[in-house]
A and B are shown apart, each in its own frame.
Chain A
Amino acid sequence: MNPPEPPEQLQKPATAIPSMAQVSRERKPAASTVLQKIRTSHPRASRIPDAVFAVIILLSAISVFAIVVLVAWELIDKSRLSLHQFGIAFFYGHDWDPVEGSFGAVPFIYGTLVSSFLALLLAVPASIGVAVYITEMCPQRLRAIISFLVELLAAIPSVIYGLWGIFVLAPLLREYVEPFLARTLGWTGLFTGPMYGLGMLAAGIILAIMVVPVIASITREVMTAVPQNQREAVLALGATRWEMIRMGVLRNARIGIVGGIILGLGRALGETMAVTMVIGNRPEVAKSLFAPGYTMASVIANEFSEATGDLYLSALVEIGLALFLVTLIVNALARLLVWSITGGTARVRA
């Protein structure tokens, strides 16, 4: 169950498209005049199909709206019992006790946000590295192979990542990585406590691996769309290769890259199966990344089927509502970030 996903997927690519559209507009200025000619040569014949087409397009645009509103309405309606019982306290309560019938969402919200941001922290530099290598430095023959492999990563089912997490990643973390982190960075308080291998750190790493193909392939796509003459111009001004990549390519592509990161974040927030297999499933807020945690999507997947009692069920639906709201807020913040970047570009151009 992950209601907020469809609208996200429909909306997100829009952030990546403007930059590409801008680029293509420069290349083909003739398109609109050609269309104008066709339209004037058949004035009547095209009117009805045009109108029908406009209505169909409008309906599909509205359907996105309708889905979001329906999802929100359904979540609020089905969680009414829990909303009534706990009120706003649900969103700052720490307790999750199905036997006593006491429910609070904080450990799950915390787990979702921390695991997702940890994933981005690890995945963003790696993905941009992959994209830069593929578009700018890779020999032609290798390019297709690496792109194919990156996209292959996206096609692996999440349960496979989860099993790999339990049987390969967790022992690796427990035996080598966590003792090392505890020795060197233990003073930060982020890497202390018993080392299970399973926990927030494992969830962050698994999510990072799952998010890399999303961000890398969009970043690559956007970077490929940067016109060749931009690169040549920067090089002609005497820039080195690195300066060319930084100023000529990354700067032009940054809106698209942010769009890719938002899409990756969306996947990380909603990911259920792989996370629940490695995060340890303990509804607790702990500072240490070694400690087990829990996410909103995981608790719904874990407990929904066997939830007995109306209040319990209602509380789980309200967790869904919380996930919906968190996704909405995170997306809004990301959109603000994109706007601030776009604004910056406009000012530079002016």
Chain B
Amino acid sequence: MIRSLRVLLCIAVLVSCAFAQTKLNGAGATFPYPMYAKWFNEYHNLYPNIEINYQSIGSGGGIRQVANGTVDFGATDGPMTDQQIAESKVKVLHVPTVLGADVPAYNIQGVSGELKFTPEVLAGIFLGKITKWDDKAITSLNPGIKFPDQNITVVHRSDGSGTTYVWTDYLSKISPEWQSSVGKGTSVKWPVGIGGKGNEGVAGNIRQLPGSIGYIELIYAVQNKILYGVVKNSSGQFIKADLASITAAAAGVKMPADFRVSITNSPSKTAYPISSFTWLLIPTNPTDANKGKILKEFLFWMLDKGQTMTEALSYAPLPTQVVEMEKAAITKQVKP
């Protein structure tokens, strides 16, 4: 009995040596976390000896950790700035993985329809210039809807977030005043409004406060069946955010060689204007060649098989020409 146990133990040890586990560690953005978790899990099922750990500690943390070389890869919702790249100890390649969007959600007494917003109206509301729901700028856009004489309460994210980055990046592009007085970032100095923590905090506050408007991630709005408005894009079309209109936003923008691109206010005709990529940050010269090789194989899998899994989780897949470009860049730039 004891002997057979010993034999079993020996076999177990031998087997585990033969299939030595390779563990990769990554950290960063929270927005694509559900997608990444799914991918890493599927990949582990395909190749049981490879385990990829991902900690969704936020984009700022992801950039810091990959720049210091403490993780094998990072992830971010906003591309690294030139200064961050200059200060980074590790040279990285930005690899776009999926697309997402921010939508304006609101709660107005007596209004249950889908509202239309123009860039000017959104900027006016978030700058505190438009303060009433029956303001002419809003009513003239939505002729069929009767607005109450109600104050507008702006709700924004209180925690630093890629969602805020995309929203403020959009407002900076369409409003020179926003650009000069507020600017873009994961946290900004809001001219008006109250802050809610996370998508759930913003959505909760909107639901609770009559007359409020805020921005949330499309995925969150879809999954929780929250009413959100359509936004006029740069070609003058009112577009509702969905997977097709987000992918269109990415297709309409010329992709630079380093993939650091903002696709808000995309020129494409069918594009939803408040869309964004999210990126993995891959060290181009990994310290551990074996890990680098595994990561590279994973990236190719993610760009083929992985892209077919996105829609089930409400993320928009990459346009095909971007996928081709990424494959070429990874082959050329990432060692080994």
**A contact set with B: CB distance below 8 Å:** 95-100, 166-167, 170-171, 174, 194, 196-199, 276-277, 280-283, 292, 298, 301-308, 313
**B85: min CB distance to chain A, Å:** 12
Q: Which residue on B lies nearest to A308, using beta carbons?
A: B60
Instruction: Indicate with 1 or 0, residue by residue over B60-104, a CB within 8 angstroms of chain A CB atoms.
Output: 110100000000000000100100100000000000000000000
Chain A residue at smallest Cβ distance from B29: A306
Within 8 A of A (CB), among B162-197: 162, 182-190, 193-197
Q: Describe A's contact surface by its main secondary structure.
A: loop
Structural contact, A307 and B60, CB atoms closer than 8 A: yes
Q: Are B188 and A306 in contact (CB under 8 A)?
A: no
B164 to chain A, nearest CB (A): 8
Do B197 and A308 touch across chains, with their CB atoms under 8 A apart? Answer: no
B59 touches A281 (CB 8 A): no
Contact of A308 among B84, B153, B194 (CB under 8 A): B84
Which of B200-208, B221-229, B238-246, B275-283 is near enough to bind chain A?
Answer: B200-208
B159's partner among A174, A283, A305, A313 (CB-CB below 8 A) is A305
Bound CA span A306–B187, Å: 8
Measured between C-beta atoms, what is the minimum distance from B257 to chain A in Å? 23
Residues of B within 8 A of A (CB): 30, 57-61, 63, 78, 81, 84, 151, 153, 158-162, 182-190, 193-197, 201, 204-205, 208-209
18 examples of A-B residue contacts, CB within 8 angstroms: A95-B189, A98-B185, A99-B184, A171-B208, A174-B209, A194-B151, A198-B205, A198-B209, A277-B197, A280-B195, A281-B194, A282-B195, A302-B158, A302-B197, A305-B58, A307-B187, A308-B59, A308-B63
* List of A residues within 8 angstroms of B204 by Cβ: 166-167
B152 to chain A, nearest CB (A): 11
Bound CA–CA A298/B158 (angstroms): 9
Q: Whole-angstrom distance from the CB of B335 to the nearest CB of chain A?
A: 27
A306 lies within 8 A of B161 (CB): yes
Which residue, of B30, B151, B195, has the highest number of chain A Cβ atoms within 10 A? B195
CA distance A166 to B59 in the complex (A): 27
Closest to A276 in B: B197
Chain B proximity of A5: nearest CB distance (Å):
21
Tell me whether A96 and B189 are in contact (CB under 8 A): yes
Residue among A280, A281, A301 with the most chain B CB within 10 A? A281
* CB-contact partner of B160 in A95, A196, A280, A306, under 8 A: A306
A280 touches B151 (CB 8 A): no
Kindly provide the distance from the CB of A12 to the nearest chain B CB, expressed in whole angstroms. Answer: 29
Q: How far is the CB of A118 from chain B (nearest CB, A)?
A: 18
Q: Contact at B208–A170, with CB atoms within 8 Å?
A: yes
Pairwise interchain contact A303-B160, C-beta atoms closer than 8 A: yes
Other 19 A-B pairs with CB < 8 A, given A99-B183, A171-B208, A292-B194:
A96-B189, A98-B160, A99-B185, A100-B183, A166-B204, A196-B153, A196-B209, A197-B208, A197-B209, A302-B159, A303-B159, A305-B60, A305-B61, A305-B160, A306-B162, A306-B186, A307-B160, A307-B187, A308-B63
